[in-house]
Each structure stands twice: as structure tokens, then as C-alpha cells.
């Protein structure tokens, strides 16, 4: 659906050159929610604005649905942009227009007849959950409602792609979750490809299929969200995963666990996907003569499935404990690691 090859953007200020996007190559599948995450200054917002040429690229090409956006003249680019919706962090609404007039604005520009325009606006108001607020002005809306207007306006011309530039950064956590749920609903109902720019791993975890991590204008890591969460390779990715899992304190926790529980083995169990629902602990207790004490753990949901870590103390005869660990290794998809063996 979207093919990006060698995309670059270099800004020049005070005779100094700044490379915001550096030779970026990426493919995004039709109908998926693709997340791009990075800290401030990573180049992610510049990247997303290059896709619809709100910023002109210094080099490279962008192809969306077999059309090379980077080679279009001004007239063809205006038409192509009708198929690329965009929502922004600070909503960018027209404050002198009502909700329905904000949503109708891109339809007016496209020359859509009034009757068809009004029908489309009402469809979108219902879709984003703003029924009853049609005649309100932006100043009368909450942050979440303003973003719903922004989403509806971005969908007005039935785009194939929706670009979201920090769309939830100005919202509180509860409203953020509601907007993310709305984006998933839109993705499923309309089959829309969504590119989501954010600095919050919670957003990626909740709704994205794929994620690319940006640092200094480059993509330093990319893959399925679940895989990236489970096995982050780059330091910047590990920092983002810690936002959700809190694993930065894990070393301290392990030292405390090992000093508190001095007998038997301390084992870390890593659950992935459906295995998070397995009654593994009770199975082990029934099969083998071992005592199992759950010390701590956490399970996190991603759109691709759940994953989590559980620390347990296992006590009993060495032979029985080894059998239990071998059973986990051979008969389940749970990853097991012996952290400490006091036998």
C-alpha cells in the first residue's frame, strides 16, 4: 500500500544543515495500523508530513496506492491529498465554524454538492460519536470531542490513508484510550491504513500491528509490536518498553527477591500470546512434588496478543524441580529462565 524509499529531509538554518529524516526506507501494508515512535527531535513528525508533502522531501520517493506522491505537480497533489487524511496534536479546527461546518470544510473545497455534503457530515458525526453536538463551536468542546471533530474532518473525503501526528498527546489518559478505541473501530469498519506518530509506548501497545522506532532521523528498529516488546534490540527501544512494563527496576527487584527467598530456585517465566491464559502453576503442582510460590509478575496486552513475566520460587527435591522446568521447556511455549539455584 505505502512504499517509502530513501526518504530524506534536510533543513538549513543560519547556514547550518540539519538532517531531520535520513534516507528512510519503509513498507506499510494495506489496512494495518502502523506506529512510528521516537523521542522529541527524532524526526517522526517531519517524516509523517513528508508523506503528504506538507514538507517537501530533499530526496527519496513516496508511493501510496501505486501513485508516486513525490513526483506529482501541484494540481495532482491536491487531488491525491483527498485520499490522505491527517489529524493533529492540537486539533487545527476552524474556531469560527461549528462541528458540522468544520467537518464539511474539506467537502466544500472538493466541490461536493450541498445535499451530499450534509449527508456525509451526518454519517461522520454518528461514526465518531458526536451526535447532539453538531452545532457546537470548538470552544464549547472538550479535548476529546475536538479530536473527534478532527478525525471526522480527516475522513470526509473517504481517504485510503489516515496520518495521525501525536493525535493523543494533548489528551488525558482516559480520553486517550477512548480516541484509540475509535481509531481501531474506524480501521476495522473502513479498512483504512493508519500511520500513528507518537512518543508514548502505551499508544503503540494498545492499537498498532507494526512499529518502527526512530532516532536521529533513522529507523533503528522495526517489527511486529509483540516481537519488539518481547525482544527490544536498541537502547532507545528498551526505554520505550520500560514505559509500559516498568522493567528499569527489575534488577533491584531481583536482588530483593534473592535476598528474601533463600531456598530452592527462583525462576522467571515469560508468557507470550495465548500462553498467558494457561494454568501452568497448578499443572506443575499436580504433576511434580514441588512447592511453587508466586513472587511477582505483570501481564500486558498488545493488539497482537498478551505477554508477561512471572517470577516464582520453586522448592523441593532437585530432581523434581528439574523435571518441572524440563516440562515447561518441552511441553509449553512459555520461556523459562533459572535466575538463582540454591540447591
Q: 2-6, 77-81, 245-249, 291-295 — which one is most confidently predicted on average?
A: 2-6
Supply the pLDDT for residue 295: 83
Supply the pLDDT for residue 10: 95
Task: List, for residues 19-41, the tens digit of each pLDDT value.
Answer: 999 999 999 999 999 999 999 99
Instruction: For residue 260, give the C-alpha cell.
Output: 528474601
**If we measure between CA atoms, which residue out of 111, 186, 329 comes closest to residue 337?**
329
**If we measure between CA atoms, which residue out of 33, 140, 153 comes closest to residue 86?**
153
Supply the pLDDT for residue 245: 63
Q: Where is pLDDT greater, at 198 or 250?
A: 198
* 8 Å CB contact between 22 and 32: no
- Exposure string for 40-67, b = 16+ CB within 10 A, e = fewer: eebbbbbbbbbbbbebebbebebbbeee
Supply the pLDDT for residue 302: 74
> Among 83-97, 117-131, 251-265, whose mean pLDDT is lowest?
251-265
Share of the chain above pLDDT 90, in %: 61
Share of the chain above pLDDT 70, in %: 92
* C-alpha to C-alpha distances, 131 to 52, 127, 135, 183, nearest whole angstrom: 30, 9, 10, 18
Supply the pLDDT for residue 261: 66
Residue ranges of domains in the chain, CATH in brackets: 2-244 (3.40.50.300), 248-341 (3.30.70.260)
- For the cut 90, the answer to whether the pLDDT of residue 118 exceeds it is yes
* pLDDT band, very low/low/confident/very high, at 231 (cuts 50, 70, 90): confident
Within 82-172, residue ranges assigned H as helices are: 99-109, 114-127, 143-155
How large is the average pLDDT for residues 243-253?
Answer: 59
Amino acid at each position: 500500500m505505502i512504499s517509502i524509499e530513501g526518504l530524506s529531509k534536510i533543513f538549513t538554518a543560519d547556514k547550518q544543515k540539519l538532517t531531520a529524516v535520513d534516507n528512510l526506507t519503509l513498507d506499510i501494508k494495506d489496512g494495518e495500523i502502523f506506529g512510528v515512535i521516537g523521542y522529541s527531535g527524532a524526526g517522526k513528525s517531519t517524516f509523517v508530513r513528508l508523506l503528504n508533502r506538507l514538507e517537501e522531501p530533499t530526496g527519496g520517493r513516496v508511493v501510496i496506492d501505486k501513485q508516486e506522491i513525490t513526483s506529482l505537480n501541484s494540481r495532482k497533489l491536491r487531488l491525491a491529498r483527498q485520499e490522505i487524511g491527517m489529524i493533529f496534536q492540537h486539533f487545527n479546527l476552524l474556531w469560527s465554524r461549528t462541528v458540522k461546518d468544520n467537518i464539511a470544510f474539506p467537502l466544500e473545497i472538493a466541490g461536493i454538492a450541498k445535499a451530499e455534503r450534509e449527508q456525509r457530515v451526518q454519517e461522520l458525526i454518528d461514526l465518531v460519536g458526536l451526535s447532539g453536538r453538531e452545532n457546537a463551536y470548538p470552544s464549547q468542546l472538550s479535548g476529546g470531542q475536538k479530536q473527534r471533530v478532527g478525525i471526522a474532518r480527516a475522513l470526509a473525503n473517504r481517504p485510503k490513508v489516515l496520518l495521525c501526528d501525536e493525535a493523543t498527546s494533548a489528551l488525558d489518559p482516559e480520553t486517550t484510550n477512548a480516541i484509540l478505541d475509535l481509531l481501531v473501530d474506524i480501521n476495522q469498519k473502513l479498512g483504512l491504513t493508519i500511520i500513528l506518530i507518537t512518543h508514548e509506548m502505551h499508544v503503540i501497545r494498545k492499537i498498532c500491528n507494526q512499529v518502527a522506532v526512530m532516532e536521529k532521523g533513522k529507523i533503528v528498529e522495526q517489527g511486529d509490536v509483540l516481537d519488539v516488546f518481547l525482544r527490544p534490540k536498541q537502547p532507545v527501544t528498551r526505554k520505550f518498553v520500560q514505559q509500559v512494563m516498568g522493567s528499569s527496576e527489575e534488577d533491584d527487584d531481583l536482588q530483593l527477591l534473592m535476598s528474601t527467598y533463600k531456598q530452592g530456585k527462583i525462576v522467571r517465566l515469560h508468557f507470550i500470546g495465548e500462553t498467558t491464559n494457561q494454568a501452568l502453576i497448578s499443572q506443575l503442582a499436580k504433576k511434580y512434588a514441588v512447592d511453587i510460590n508466586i513472587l511477582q509478575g505483570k501481564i500486558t496486552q498488545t493488539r497482537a496478543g498478551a505477554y508477561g513475566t512471572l517470577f516464582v520460587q520453586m522448592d523441593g527435591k532437585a530432581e523434581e524441580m528439574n523435571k518441572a522446568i524440563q516440562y515447561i521447556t518441552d511441553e509449553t511455549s512459555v520461556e523459562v529462565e533459572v535466575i538463582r539455584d540454591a540447591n
